[in-house]
Amino acid sequence: MEVINSLESEVRSYCRSFPTVFDTARGARLFDQEGRSYVDFFAGAGALNYGHNDPALKRRLLAYIESDGITHGLDMATTAKEDFLACFAERILEPRELQYKTQFPGPTGTNAVEAALKLARKVTGREGVVSFSNAFHGMTLGSLAVTGNGFKRRGAGVPLHFGDAVPFDGFLGEEIDTLDVLEAMLDGGSSGMDPPAAVIVETTQAEGGLNVASDAWLRRLQTLCRRFGSLLIVDDIQVGIGRTGPFFSFERAGLDPDLVCLSKSLSGYGLPMAIVLIRPDLDAWEPGEHNGTFRGNNPAFVTATAALDYWQDDRLEREVGEKAIVLRSALESIARAHPSLKATVKGIGLIQGLSFEDARIAGRVSRLAFERGLLLETAGPDGGVAKVMPPLNIDEVAFKDGLRILSAVVDEVVEDPKQ
Amino acid sequence: MEVINSLESEVRSYCRSFPTVFDTARGARLFDQEGRSYVDFFAGAGALNYGHNDPALKRRLLAYIESDGITHGLDMATTAKEDFLACFAERILEPRELQYKTQFPGPTGTNAVEAALKLARKVTGREGVVSFSNAFHGMTLGSLAVTGNGFKRRGAGVPLHFGDAVPFDGFLGEEIDTLDVLEAMLDGGSSGMDPPAAVIVETTQAEGGLNVASDAWLRRLQTLCRRFGSLLIVDDIQVGIGRTGPFFSFERAGLDPDLVCLSKSLSGYGLPMAIVLIRPDLDAWEPGEHNGTFRGNNPAFVTATAALDYWQDDRLEREVGEKAIVLRSALESIARAHPSLKATVKGIGLIQGLSFEDARIAGRVSRLAFERGLLLETAGPDGGVAKVMPPLNIDEVAFKDGLRILSAVVDEVVEDPKQ
Amino acid sequence: MEVINSLESEVRSYCRSFPTVFDTARGARLFDQEGRSYVDFFAGAGALNYGHNDPALKRRLLAYIESDGITHGLDMATTAKEDFLACFAERILEPRELQYKTQFPGPTGTNAVEAALKLARKVTGREGVVSFSNAFHGMTLGSLAVTGNGFKRRGAGVPLHFGDAVPFDGFLGEEIDTLDVLEAMLDGGSSGMDPPAAVIVETTQAEGGLNVASDAWLRRLQTLCRRFGSLLIVDDIQVGIGRTGPFFSFERAGLDPDLVCLSKSLSGYGLPMAIVLIRPDLDAWEPGEHNGTFRGNNPAFVTATAALDYWQDDRLEREVGEKAIVLRSALESIARAHPSLKATVKGIGLIQGLSFEDARIAGRVSRLAFERGLLLETAGPDGGVAKVMPPLNIDEVAFKDGLRILSAVVDEVVEDPKQ
Amino acid sequence: MEVINSLESEVRSYCRSFPTVFDTARGARLFDQEGRSYVDFFAGAGALNYGHNDPALKRRLLAYIESDGITHGLDMATTAKEDFLACFAERILEPRELQYKTQFPGPTGTNAVEAALKLARKVTGREGVVSFSNAFHGMTLGSLAVTGNGFKRRGAGVPLHFGDAVPFDGFLGEEIDTLDVLEAMLDGGSSGMDPPAAVIVETTQAEGGLNVASDAWLRRLQTLCRRFGSLLIVDDIQVGIGRTGPFFSFERAGLDPDLVCLSKSLSGYGLPMAIVLIRPDLDAWEPGEHNGTFRGNNPAFVTATAALDYWQDDRLEREVGEKAIVLRSALESIARAHPSLKATVKGIGLIQGLSFEDARIAGRVSRLAFERGLLLETAGPDGGVAKVMPPLNIDEVAFKDGLRILSAVVDEVVEDPKQ
C-alpha cells in the first residue's frame, strides 16, 4: 500500500475502506496480494453485475484482442460497434417494443448524463432540470448540479446552476405524495420554479440510500413530465441491466422514458462504456455536437455484446428475483435478531441493505466485514445503510458465505460496540 | 454501414468523414471489412501515439486478462495500479525532477479537466478560470465552459459560466503580445475580470488549429499565474506523451505547472485512462470528493505501464524530432508547389498540418485522402487545417505512403476544384 | 393620451387599465384632466398609505423646499436625514424594542431588496436565497431571481440564479405545512438544496394574490432560519407601514427579523425612498460597498419624518383594524350575494380582496370600476383577485362610495357577463 | 454627526469624506449646520448639473405641489408626464433627429441600466453583455455584472454572470486599438466569447477615472455592434445632460445608439428620475414586463420639464465649452507647478481632473479641500484622480473660488506631505 499512499492523491477513497492490494478476481471472489479471498457484495459499485472476469466474456475479449480488432475507434463505424448495436436492438429493445437511437458519449456514467442533459435542453429550449433529493448522477459539472449530496456539491468549487431539487418519493414521510409538491410548483407559472427541460430520476436511488420509488409515483412523474413539456430521463446507470430483475429498472412501472442513461454493467466485464438511449424524434443532435476521445472503446463493445447472451431468455431475471427473496429474508432476520439497532431493510432486487438508526453502525459493519473477507459498501447521505449488491450471477456458495459473514459481523458489532 | 446509420444517434461524426466499417488495425494501418487498408495520419485524435495494437503492449494486456487480473477496481489498490504509479514516478517524474501526486479521475480527458478545475477552485477559493481563444478542453459542462468553439458551446443548452476567454499567443497578430491584454485585465482590480482560480492552457492547440505558443509566452504566462495567485493547468491530453517530442509538451519551455491533465495516449493502447498530476502541496482533496466508476480501469494501467518502456531512454523523443523535420519539409513542399492555395505549415513535432486560405480545401483533402487510403482529419475553428498526426512510431513505409498520398491528393484538389 | 401612446414605451401598463390622464389628487380621490373624480382603492400599489398629498406632510415639504434645504444629498449627513433617523428610532424602533441600523440604498423597493440580499450573502458566505411561490420582490436581476411570477422572470432574458423557490404557507392546501418541505430539504445535507444565505418573505403576499401566512408558520420559519444559519429577511415594502395594522406587518407574529426592507409608503407622500433595517451585529458593510446616486432624497426624508406623527399613538393602527372589519364584511356580502362566482375573501387589514374562481372576472371588475369612478387593481398569478387597498386614513365617505361602487360593479358583471 | 454615526449603517461613505451636517444649498454653494459655506465641485456626483435648488425649477416644483398635482403616479398617464414627454421630444429629440420611445423604469440609474440590459437580451435572444474595464453602471445585480470595480463586484456576494469585460479605449496603452481585441474575440466564433446581446459603454468613464474614449473608437464600436448583431447601449447617466457640452455625450462622435440610459441630472433638481431611450423598432416590451413603484415620480417630471428650458438654444452648451477651457488651463497650471507630483489632466467638458502618480495624493487633496471649503471627490480604480465636476451653470465667483482653493490645497499637500 505504500506506493499508493505516497503517490496517489488524497482523493483516493475505497482503498481506505478496503486497505489491501487486490490482485486477481473471478466471479464473486477477489484475491489480494497475500492470497486472501473476499466475497464480493459490492460488485464494482454496480459495474460487475456478471461478476469478475466472466469466462464467456473473457474468451470473446481475448479473441478480439488477439485478432487485432480495432481497439480505439472514436465514433468511426467498426465491426464491434455494428455487432453491439444490432444485438442490443434484437435482444433488448425489440422484445420490449422500445425504439431508441443510441448515442455513444464518453465511456462513463457522468458523460452519459451530461449528454442527456444537453440534448434535453436543446430539444426543449429550456435550461433547468429537476432532480431529486439524494440523487446521484455524477461528478462533472453538469451532472453534479443534479446530484444531491452536499459534500460532493461543495467539491464543485462553484455554485451549481440549472438544477432544481425536489423531494424524492417518500422523502416527506408516508403521508405526503411528494409529486404534489412538484406539480404545485410547476402549475400556474408563478411559483418561481421555471418549467424544466427535463426531470432526471433513478427509479431506485442507490448512492442515496436504497430508496425505491413506487410504481405509481414513477408513472405519475412521467405523466407530469408529459403535461409540462419536460423530458423524462431515467438514469439507469446503477440499477439498470438486471440489478432489480428486468433489464431496465423502469420496466416494473411500465415507463416509456424519453432518454435513458446506461453505463456501469453495460460492458459486462467492467470495461468503461456508456450509452444514451434517445427517443428517435428527439435525436436532434448535429454531427459532432457532443464528442469524446474514448466513445469508441471497442473491447467494451465486444464484451457488451457477449453479455447480451444473458438476456436471450428470462433466466437471469428470474434468478435475480429468487435471490432477492433470499436476500430480503436474510436481512430481515438480521434486523429482527437485533431490535436494539432499529434496522430496517431497504432496496429491491439485488440491491438491498440494512439501514441503521445509528448511521455509524453501517460503517463498522463494512469495516469488520472486510476483515472477515466480505466486501460491502455503505450508502445514504450519512452512510447509514449497509448495502448488499452482489453480482447477479453469484454462485450459491459465495452468496451464502457472504450472508453468513454479514450476519456474524452484525452480531460482533452489537456485542462489542467499540468495533 | 446500415446498422450504424439506422441505430446510432445523429451525433455520430467521424463515421461520416470516413464512411466504411473498420475491422482490424496494426501499427499505422487500419483495415476495413472489405479488406481495404488505410495509412493512419489521425492516430485516434492523439490517443494512439504508439499505433494500433502495439505488439509489446498487446502481449502484456493479454497476459493480464488471461491471469484474471483485476479488471474493474474503482479506486481500490491493485497490483496493476501500484505498478503504474511506481513506474510512472521512476521513468517520467523523477528524471524530470517533477514531484506530482497522481489523481485517477474518470478515464476520459474531460473528466481529468473537470477534476483539475474543481481542485483549482477549492485551493484558491476563487471561481473563474481563464482559458484561451480556440481552446479545446472537453464536452462536459465544466470543461466546455473553457472551450472556445462556438458550435460546441451552444451544444451546452445553457450559458457557460466561470470561464473567461482571452486571446491565445498569436491570436491578435504578430505585433501584440496577447499576455499584455491578460496582464492589464488582471492588474489593478477594476477591469471587470475577477482574478481567476486558474489559467488552463494547451501549449499547442490541436483542435484549435495547430497553434503553437512560443516558449517565452508560456513562461510569461506561468509568471503571471504566480503573480496573481492563479494555478497554471496544462492540458497535455492531446499534445503530451511525446506528440511534440518530449514526454510533456511543456518541457520545451521549462514550465513547472501546478496541475497537468493527461489522457488519450496515456494507456498507450487506446484504452480509456486519464490522470491529473497535482503539485503535492495543492493536493487538498478530501477522500472521495471527486469520484467515478471507471477510475480504476486496470487493463489500461497495464498497457500504460508497458508503454513507459518507450521512455527508458530518449530514443522516441529523437525519433519524433527526426520525423518532424521530414514532415515539415514535405508539407512545405506541398505548400510551395501550389502557391494558389496560400497554404501555410503549422504545428510542431508530429502534430503538423497545412492551413489553407480557403478552409473548404482542407475538407476536400481529407475526403479525397480517405478515398485514396489515408486517414487525416481537419482542425481549426473553420476546419481549414489538414492535420497530420501519425503514430509517433510509424514505420517508414507507412509514413512515406501517407505523405505521398497527401501530396497527390492536394494535387488532385488543385487540378479539379470540384473535388 | 396621445402623447403617452406615441412617445412612451410599450412597457407602460397601468395607463392601459386606467386610460385617462390624471391631473390632481387629494386624500383618497384623484381627478383627471376632464375633472372626473375617482375613489382610490389602489393607493399607489401601497405607496400612498396616508393618501394623496396629505396636508400636514405637504406643509412640511413646501417649507423645506422654500427654505432651500438640501434636496440631493447622496449619503452625506444632512439635517433632514438626522431628523428622520432620530424620529424613526424614537417613534418606531424603541417602542418595539428593535435595535436596527439603517441603510439607505437607492430609493426604490428593489434597491432595498438587492442590498439586503448582498449583505446576507456577505455575512453568511453563502449564495442561495430561499424565496416563496408567488413572491414579488422586484425587477432588478437580484430581486427578480427571488420573484415567482414567470412572466416577469422571463423578462430577465437570462436564467435567474441563486434563488430557490419553495411553497408559501397554504400553497399545497390546508393539510400540508409547507415548512415541512423546506425543513426536509435543508436537513441532512443531501437534498440538492444547499443551505441558503437567507430566506426572504412577505408576511402577506400582495402581488402574489393576498396570501396571508399564519403567525405560527412565520414563527416556525424564523426558527428554521436560526437553525440552519440563514438570515430572515422580511420584505415589508408593500404590507408594512400600517397596511395590516401595526407599523411592521410581522409584529402580529412576534418576529425578530435579521433584515427588513421598507419602501413604498415610507416617505408618506409617495416620494421615492427605501431603507434596509439591519441587526447591528450583521452590519458588515464596508463604506461605499453598496451605493447609489439618489440614496439621499432629502425631501422624502422630510415627509417620512412628518408621517411618523401618525405613529405617536395607536390611533392609526386601531383605525385600520376597524376599517378592516368593515371591508371584510362588505367583501363577504358581495361574495355571498353571488354564489355563482365562487368568490372568496382573502387578505388582512386594509389589503383584502375577492378571489374569483374565473380569473377573468377580476379584470372585468377592475375595468368597470374604473368606468364607474373607482381605482382598483388585480393581483395574483393569473390576476384573479380584485384587490382593495385604500389609503389607511381614507375618509368615511370615500370608503363607502368605493365599496358601493365595487358592489354595484360586481352586480353588473354578473348580470352582463360580456362586460 | 452623532445621530448618523450611531444609527446609520457602516455602508455610509460620503459623510466620512465630508464630515459635517449639511443643511441648505443654492446654486454652487452648500451650507452646513454651523453656517460654513462650501463651493460645490462635486454636483451630487453628476446629479446637480444645474446646481442646487435652481430658482426657476423650484418655482415650478412649489407650484405643482401647492396645486395638489399628482405626486405618485406609477405609470398612469398624468399631466406632468405628458408635458415632459412632449417637451423632451420637442427640445431634445427632434432637433437631433433622434426618434426614441421613452421607458420610465424605477427612478435610479441602475434601474435604467437593468431595464436596458433586459430589453437587449429580449430583442437579441442572447445573454452576454460586453462592458469595459473601469466601467461603472450600478449596484443592483444586473448592472454590477457589467461594472469593473473589484471591490464593488465582490460586494455582490455571488459570482456575476453574463458580463464580458474587455479593455476600454486607451487601457492597453497608446499603441493598441483595444477594439482590435474585441473584434478578434467576436470574429470566427471560436474564441470562447459568445456574441453578446449588447455592448454597454460610457463615452467618458466618470467613476472609472475620467477616461475619454476617442470619437473614432466610439464610431468603430458602433460599427462592430452592428456587424455582430449586438445592441449599442450608451450609459449617459453621469456624462449626459450637458456634462461634456452637448445634451448627449455621444453627439461629439455622431453615434446613433440603440438604447440610451439617462438619470442623475435628468430631473434637474436632484430628484430621483431615470429613463431609457429605445429605438422604436426595438421596443419589444410586453406591458408591465418591467415595472417599479416609483417609476412615476411626477414632481421630478415637473422639474425635468422646467430644466429643458436650458436647452432651448445652445447657450448652455457654449457655456460649458468656455468653462471647460478655463478648467483645463487651471488644472494644467497646477500640474505644471508641481512636476514632482507627475500629475496629468484627464477628462472633457466640465468633468475634468488631476490624475496623480501617487494615488494617495488625490485623497489628501479632497480631504484638505473640504477643510478649506471645497467639495471635490476622487475617482478612478485606486481613487487617484481628483475630479472637478461643478454645476454647469456655476457662477463665476464660485468657479474661481473653487479653482483657487484647489490650487492652494495642492500647494499645501506638496509642502506638507503628511497632510
Write the pLDDT tens digit of every residue in C5-50.
999 999 999 999 999 999 999 999 999 999 999 999 999 999 999 9
DSSP class of C91: I
Q: What is the pLDDT of residue B375?
A: 98
Does the pLDDT of residue B416 top 90, yes or no? no
On average, the pLDDT of chain B sits at 97
Residues B306 and B327 grouped into a single domain:
no
Name which of D120, D128, D168 is nearest D148 in CA terms. D168
Does the pLDDT of residue C186 top 90, yes or no? yes
The set of chains that have 3 or more CB pairs under 8 A with C is A, B, D
**Residue B380 in grid coordinates:** 481549426
Name which of C137, C309, C354, C141 is nearest C234 in CA terms. C137
Interface contact B145, partner A, CB < 8 A: yes
Domain-terminating residue out of A283, A311, A339: A311
Contacts of D66 (CB under 8 A, 6+ apart): C62
Helix, strand or coil for residue D231?
strand
Contact status, residue C11 vs residue D287, Cβ threshold 8 Å:
yes
3-class SS letters over chain A: CHHHHHHECCCCCHHHHCCCCEEEEEECEEEECCCCEEEECCHHHHCCCCCECCHHHHHHHHHHHHCCECCECCCCCEHHHHHHHHHHHHHHHHHHCCCCEEECCCCCHHHHHHHHHHHHHHHHCCCCEEEECCCCCCCCHHHHCCCCCHHHHHCCCCCCCCEEEECCCCCCCCCCCHHHHHHHHHCCCCCCCCCCCEEEECCEECCCCCEECCHHHHHHHHHHHHHHCCEEEEECCCCCCCCCCCCCHHHHHCCCCCEEEECHHHCCCCCCCCEEEECHHHCCCCCCCCCCCCCCEHHHHHHHHHHHHHHCCCHHHHHHHHHHHHHHHHHHHHHHHCHHHCCEEEEECCEEEEECCCCHHHHHHHHHHHHCCEECEEECCCCCEEEECCCCCCCHHHHHHHHHHHHHHHHHHHHCCCC
Give the pLDDT band of residue B383 (cuts 50, 70, 90).
very high
**Measured between alpha carbons, how far is residue A234 from residues A220, A281, D138, D168 in Å?**
14, 17, 44, 49
Question: Which residue does chain C place closest to A149, by CA atoms?
Answer: C190
Chain C closest-CA separation from residue B44 CA (Å): 38
Distance CA A51, CA A30 (A): 10
**Residue C264 in grid coordinates:** 413604498
Does the pLDDT of residue D418 top 80, yes or no? no
Percent of chain D surpassing pLDDT 70? 100
Residues B150 and B195 grouped into a single domain:
yes
**Residue A23 in grid coordinates:** 490482485
Residues B197 and B301 grouped into a single domain:
yes
Question: Which residue does chain B place closest to A279, by CA atoms?
Answer: B9
Residues D76 and D198 grouped into a single domain:
yes
Owning domain of residue C401: 2-54+314-415
Give the pLDDT band of residue B418 (cuts 50, 70, 90).
confident
Residues A197 and A121 grouped into a single domain:
yes
Interface contact B16, partner D, CB < 8 A: no
Chain B closest-CA separation from residue A333 CA (Å): 31
Question: Which residue does chain C place closest to B125, by CA atoms?
Answer: C125
Residues D81 and D174 grouped into a single domain:
yes
D158 contacts on A by Cβ (under 8 Å): 159
pLDDT tens figures, D234-289: 999 999 999 999 999 999 999 999 999 999 999 999 999 999 999 999 999 999 99
pLDDT tens figures, A133-188: 999 999 999 999 999 999 999 999 999 999 999 999 999 999 999 999 999 999 98
**Measured between alpha carbons, how far is residue A217 from residues A135, A171, C37 in Å?**
16, 12, 57
Does the pLDDT of residue B21 top 70, yes or no? yes
Distance CA A395, CA A387 (A): 19
Q: What is the CATH number of the domain that holds A220?
A: 3.40.640.10
B156 contacts on C by Cβ (under 8 Å): none
pLDDT tens figures, B62-118: 999 999 999 999 999 999 999 999 999 999 999 999 999 999 999 999 999 999 999
Give the pLDDT band of residue C416 (cuts 50, 70, 90).
confident
**What's the rounded mean pLDDT across residues B28-38?**
98
Residue C277's H or E segment, with its range, is strand C275-278
Instruction: Kindly determine whether residue C188 and residue A127, on different chains, have CB atoms separated by under 8 Å.
Output: no
A158 contacts on D by Cβ (under 8 Å): 159
**What's the rounded mean pLDDT across residues D110-129?**
98
Contact status, residue A418 vs residue A397, Cβ threshold 8 Å:
no
Distance CA D367, CA D405 (A): 12
Distance CA A43, CA A349 (A): 14
The set of chains that have 3 or more CB pairs under 8 A with B is A, C, D
Contact status, residue D48 vs residue C296, Cβ threshold 8 Å:
no
Chain centroid to CA C62: how far?
Answer: 27
Give the pLDDT band of residue A419 (cuts 50, 70, 90).
low
Does the pLDDT of residue C170 top 80, yes or no? yes
Amino acid at B223: T
Residues D40 and D108 grouped into a single domain:
no
**What's the rounded mean pLDDT across residues B148-161?**
96
Q: What is the pLDDT of residue A71?
A: 98
Residues C15 and C89 grouped into a single domain:
no
Classify the C-alpha dihedral B224-B117-B304-B210 as positive or negative.
negative
Give the pLDDT band of residue A418 (cuts 50, 70, 90).
confident
pLDDT tens figures, B283-313: 999 999 999 999 999 999 999 999 999 999 9
Domain-terminating residue out of C311, C333, C349: C311
Instruction: Kindly determine whether residue B14 and residue A74, on different chains, have CB atoms separated by under 8 Å.
Output: yes
**What's the rounded mean pLDDT across residues A290-295?**
96
Instruction: Kindly determine whether residue C190 and residue A165, on different chains, have CB atoms separated by under 8 Å.
Output: no
**What's the rounded mean pLDDT across residues C150-157?**
96
Does the pLDDT of residue A25 top 80, yes or no? yes
Q: What is the pLDDT of residue C188?
A: 80
Is the ipTM above a cut-off of 0.90? yes
**What's the rounded mean pLDDT across residues C101-110?**
98
User: What angle, rounded to 10 degrees, do the helices at B55-66 and B298-307 form?
Assistant: 140
Q: What is the CATH number of the domain that holds B403?
A: 3.90.1150.10
**What's the rounded mean pLDDT across residues A2-11?**
96
Residues A262 and A154 grouped into a single domain:
yes
> Total domain count for chain A?
2
Residues C203 and C302 grouped into a single domain:
yes
**Residue D357 in grid coordinates:** 502618480
Residues D38 and D62 grouped into a single domain:
no
3-class SS letters over D60-117: HHHHHHHCCECCECCCCCEHHHHHHHHHHHHHHHHHHCCCCEEECCCCCHHHHHHHHH
Task: Report the 10 Å Cβ neighbour count for D412.
Answer: 16
D128 contacts on B by Cβ (under 8 Å): 159
Buried b (16+ CB within 10 A) or exposed e, D303-320: bbbbbbbbbeeeebbebb
Q: Which of A16, A85, A272 sits opposite B272 (nearest CB)?
A: A272
pTM: 0.97
Contact status, residue A81 vs residue A72, Cβ threshold 8 Å:
no
On average, the pLDDT of chain C sits at 97
Residues D29 and D64 grouped into a single domain:
no
Q: What is the pLDDT of residue D188?
A: 81
Instruction: Kindly determine whether residue A156 and residue B121, on different chains, have CB atoms separated by under 8 Å.
Output: yes
Domain-terminating residue out of B248, B276, B311: B311
Distance CA B327, CA A402 (A): 60
Contact status, residue C213 vs residue C247, Cβ threshold 8 Å:
no
**Residue D274 in grid coordinates:** 431615470
Give the pLDDT band of residue C162 (cuts 50, 70, 90).
very high
**Residue C365 in grid coordinates:** 371588475
pLDDT tens figures, D334-377: 999 999 999 999 999 999 999 999 999 999 999 999 999 999 99
Does the pLDDT of residue C177 top 70, yes or no? yes
Q: What is the pLDDT of residue C417?
A: 75
Distance CA D85, CA D294 (A): 17
A381 contacts on C by Cβ (under 8 Å): 188-190
**Measured between alpha carbons, how far is residue B90 from residues D92, D190, D267 in Å?**
77, 40, 75
Interface contact D73, partner C, CB < 8 A: yes
